Amino acid sequence: MVKDNCKILDCTIRDGGLVNNWEFSVEFVRDLYKGLSEAGVDYMEIGYKNSPKLLQGGNAGPWRFLDEAFLREVIPQKTETKLSALVDIGRVDEHDILPREESMLDLIRVACYVKDVEKGLELVRKFHDKGYETSLNIMALSHVLEHELEEALKEIADSPVDVVYVVDSYGSMDPGDIVKLVAKFRSLVPNKQLGIHTHNNLQLAFANTLAALQEGVTFLDSSVFGMGRAAGNCNTELLVSRVKSTRYEVRPILGVIENHMLAIRDKWEWGYNIPYMINGVFDEHPRTAMALRASDNKDRYLEFYDTLTSPESIVAPKKS
Amino acid sequence: MVKDNCKILDCTIRDGGLVNNWEFSVEFVRDLYKGLSEAGVDYMEIGYKNSPKLLQGGNAGPWRFLDEAFLREVIPQKTETKLSALVDIGRVDEHDILPREESMLDLIRVACYVKDVEKGLELVRKFHDKGYETSLNIMALSHVLEHELEEALKEIADSPVDVVYVVDSYGSMDPGDIVKLVAKFRSLVPNKQLGIHTHNNLQLAFANTLAALQEGVTFLDSSVFGMGRAAGNCNTELLVSRVKSTRYEVRPILGVIENHMLAIRDKWEWGYNIPYMINGVFDEHPRTAMALRASDNKDRYLEFYDTLTSPESIVAPKKS
């Protein structure tokens, strides 16, 4: 598949940080940036730009609360690979955001649910005015009513945002679903670039990304070795191998996997497994499967399946 | 995706046997048959019907050289789930094959390369005359020249075979490739049912199977937990979950995974990993990656990649 206008955005540090509570060494992040740069990857999402003042978990390491001075130490020399950060509605202090010409960041992505699109666009406008490229990532699209989505997309069309993302938060979609959603986005926001962010609960993250690319989506999220929350994301090494372009080269990504990811994978779990698959089949947030995998019953698949499927397993709380 | 005319064929024992040299206990095979029956899976491929007289490796356990008397012991009571066996050209003694009415088997599948299609059809005719359902599985389609394939398909159209399989032996295809190949098969063998057998080198086995189903392919190969040679196959649990039909039920497959496959997986390796991915990217037989994974250098990805990509790594043999 030859697509010379697409952009690969690697979110290993940002989405992968949801796996290991952002326990990434500076050395690893530097090597990853070097590897992604040599591989021709267009963007590296280096973390969240949330504010520790607005969010519990201030001990989660620097990648969750990116600081410009720190970023300059980590990456003294930028390459052609741009840097991005994600912010969540209500968790970002806009005063923390420098004007782009003083910042290491190029792209700020705002993640929100469909009900918060107005708030999301308010942030987008501020970052846009500071000179950044911007995206709005609408999460949990599989739980959105059609008319809600259509109203949101109309507002987005009138905003200055550069990229609008289709996000399969629960890893429950297949390529046919993606094609239909992308068609709706294209018809309602024809003036924007589109992006895709997938999860691998049904082993469809890569296939869904290819389906989106085929339909004209240009921003493709991925992570090295698939490292991302729960079942993980589309694998950067697959995307770089398969998207034919003179820009991309898989060898440097293989080096990052060999030198770093195997050790991280020994310590932390992500990727396809049965509880995450079950969540994907039921189109549910992975939190129940994540709790199971962190418990002593992590391989009790039948019990887990029965809990999710038996209405009698949920009883009303007793009044005292 | 609602498809009520498709058939799922589980080949855990046959293709999975290529992983563990057919070290499956009778108890496991019985439990698998029970689970597949309860799940509504249409066929279970219980092994190879090759002849130990014609093939090295007579110590590989009964599933490689199926014997009718033994099969009757293993499965005293057949369910609605039919049994199939695979044979290879030149490795089967046709005199070992009973008439269908005396056999436990319902379907005999003949695997061959395109150059051997005539030999394959010769076997197909014999099994057809003995009353079996038959299929011809053309392997390594990604290495076949277009005119060779077209000539072979014309011969197949004139044969009594019931099902013709598209086989992505090297796990190198994506859904777009599958759609094109299926269209060619449909136009040249319009009178046959089609089947699909995939490998997961690029994490596309399930997506490729869904793409084939969408294009009208009715026989879908899979294996429980993806157990199959090298990167493995499309996962039965995914197919059973996603193909909407009143027949299919995933819970019994989850039981087989919980009770058996985790222990097998602890002992044997299959599924997506970087060397298998590299073979898939280069559209090559997995033997080089399998050799690497069995060596002390199993995670030397860069060295492996360089060996496959550097012409200077291959030198002519020295004359003495």
B167, B208 Cβ separation under 8 angstroms: no
Which of B266, B277, B309 best probes binding to A when mutated, by most A CB atoms within 10 angstroms? B277
- Counted across chains A and B, CB pairs separated by less than 8 A come out at 101
Q: Provide the pLDDT confidence category of residue B48 given band limits of 50, 70 and 90.
A: very high
Residue A93, pLDDT score: 87
- What are A113-134's pLDDT values in tens digits? 999 999 999 999 999 999 999 9
Pairing of strands B133-138, A163-167: unpaired
* Torsion on CA atoms B296, B299, B304, B306, rounded to nearest 10: -130
CA distance A205 to chain B (A): 9
Per-residue pLDDT, averaged over B283-308, amounts to 96
Report the residue of chain B nearest A205, measured CA to CA: B203
List of chain B residues whose C-beta atoms are within 8 Å of the C-beta of residue A250? 281, 305
Residues 278-317 in B contacting A (C-alpha not used; CB under 8 Å): 278, 281, 299-302, 305
> Do residue B274 and residue A281 have CB atoms under 8 angstroms apart?
no
State yes or no: pLDDT of A299 exceeds 90: yes
**What is d(CA A116, CA A253) in angstroms, rounded to the nearest whole number?**
36
**What is d(CA A140, CA A89) in angstroms, rounded to the nearest whole number?**
15
Please give the single-letter amino acid code of residue A134. T
State yes or no: pLDDT of B217 exceeds 80: yes
Select from B206, B211, B260, B267 the least CA-distant residue to B232. B206
How much is the mean pLDDT over chain A? 93
**Which pTM was predicted?**
0.94
Which of A254, A270, A310 best probes binding to B when mutated, by most B CB atoms within 10 angstroms? A254
> Do residue B305 and residue A238 have CB atoms under 8 angstroms apart?
no
List of chain A residues whose C-beta atoms are within 8 Å of the C-beta of residue B224? none
**Which one of A206, A241, A302 has the shortest CB-CB distance to B254?**
A302
A302: number of Cβ within 10 Å: 15
Q: What does the buried/exposed string (b/e) look like for A34-43 if buried means 16 or more CB atoms within 10 Å of the residue's CB? A: bbbbbbbbbb
Residue B301, pLDDT score: 98
State yes or no: pLDDT of A273 exceeds 60: yes
Select from B81, B75, B43 the least CA-distant residue to B62. B75
Residue A98, pLDDT score: 95
Domains with residue ranges and CATH for chain A: 7-267 (3.20.20.70), 274-311 (no CATH)
Report the residue of chain A nearest B263, measured CA to CA: A299
